[in-house]
Amino acid sequence: MTITPLERCFCFSLSFSCAVISIIQFVKAFAAFIIALYYLANQGLYPLAVHHIFLFFLFFICCGFASAVLVNLRNKSYHPLPFVRLYKCLYIIDIIWLIEYCLMIGILMILKEDMKYLLVYGCPSAVCLLLDIFFSYCLYSFAKQSLRKMPNQVVPKLNVFTVTNSVKDKNFHVSKKKLSKSVPEFEDNTTCNDMVKSRLSVV
């Protein structure tokens, strides 16, 4: 099934939306780090602290790919590879996040611990997961758009000869010439080199 890419993200351009999505990854990592420190300071290595430490490492991985997207947008190169990596990373991390959250609920039930604090984060976690899916769709759309607009780079070919230039003392000199075809011969079996030598000898 072919997924139709977006042309715009609501009223914003896809490039601006991708920049905002990348910045949000840093905000998520910072928020998870602060919450993890709070639970570590108040409750020690409690399951909630472990949960948020794990989330911080997941979001930190996203930050690495998000920084590549920001650099790409800043340089205006719009290469699709950083956007593809980020949206795939978001998909994989969302799946890991969901599995980890379910496992954490199961562990708290086995330990007969109070789950109300973990369930409080259920609604924000669900919102973040849904937003990540939409963000992945925006990144996918921009990657498709960049792939369509990427110019075809054609390497020029010289059929007669190739000239290699070298720079020396800030002056350009022709250092080497390679004939790509055989040197033509004239009717009297004289070549171009013979003609040049004869002219030089006359001078």
Can you give the pTM of this predicted structure?
A: 0.65
CA-CA-CA-CA torsion sign (128, 49, 101, 120): negative
Q: Give the 3-state secondary structure percentages of the chain, helix then strand then coil, rounded to 5.
A: 65, 10, 25
Q: Burial of 110 by CB count in 10 Å (0-12 exposed, 13-18 middle, 19+ buried)?
A: exposed
CB-based contact 31:60 (threshold 8 Å):
no
Tens-of-pLDDT digits for all 203 residues of the chain?
566 656 666 666 777 888 898 999 999 999 999 988 988 888 777 777 888 899 999 999 999 999 998 998 888 877 888 888 888 999 899 999 889 888 888 887 887 776 777 777 778 888 888 888 888 888 888 888 777 766 554 444 434 433 444 444 444 444 444 444 444 544 455 555 565 455 555 44
What pLDDT was estimated at residue 60? 93
CA-CA-CA-CA torsion sign (95, 66, 124, 58): positive
